Amino acid sequence: MIRAMFLFSLFSLSGTVAYSCTCLQISHRKEFRQVDAIFSGRAISKVEDRSYAPPQPKGVSPIFQKHLDSMKRFIIRFEIEGRFKGVGGRTIDLYAYESDSPCAGMIFEVGQRWLIYAYREGEGLTDGGLCSRTKTLDKSSQEYLELRSFWFRTRARLHL
């Protein structure tokens, strides 16, 4: 009975706004072509970018603006373990965004290994957000095995 009361009070105190975090998944080959960089690596540092100011677009709802205002940008440094597209060197910095939004995207922690699909943002790269293929690294996954395949990368680049 106490457990039921606790759960009921927990749910009744939670927010009343519901968000849909649905993403349109495109084919692996198409995403390979669209992103600027793909690599696997281990996060070795995470620093908040205090110079970042969240966007202030005109005409957005106060609720949406509240989520934008809660957004923080971090610079995640990765030790590169596998290069599949658009990266070189031993380390690379990636911009990652975190906010109070339930659809905020990935939260990178130091020590974790990731498969990153990234886009150019100014002078740097940013993770693709919640709807990208960026995920924790699983070297036995079909996706990772495809990326390691010369033939997959060649066919993807040639639109075959």
* Integer angstrom CA distances of residue 27 from 9, 39, 129, 143: 42, 18, 17, 11
Number of H helices, E strands in the chain: 5, 6
How many Cβ atoms sit within 10 Å of the Cβ of residue 87?
A: 19
For 86-112, strand residue ranges (E) read: 91-98
**Res. 5: pLDDT tops 90:** no
Fold type of domain 35-137: OB fold (Dihydrolipoamide Acetyltransferase, E2P) (2.40.50)
pLDDT tens-digit profile of 30-79?
Answer: 999 999 999 999 999 999 999 888 777 788 777 777 777 778 889 999 99
Q: Where are the domains of the chain?
A: 35-137
The pTM of this model reads 0.79
Contact 23, 132 (CB under 8 A): no
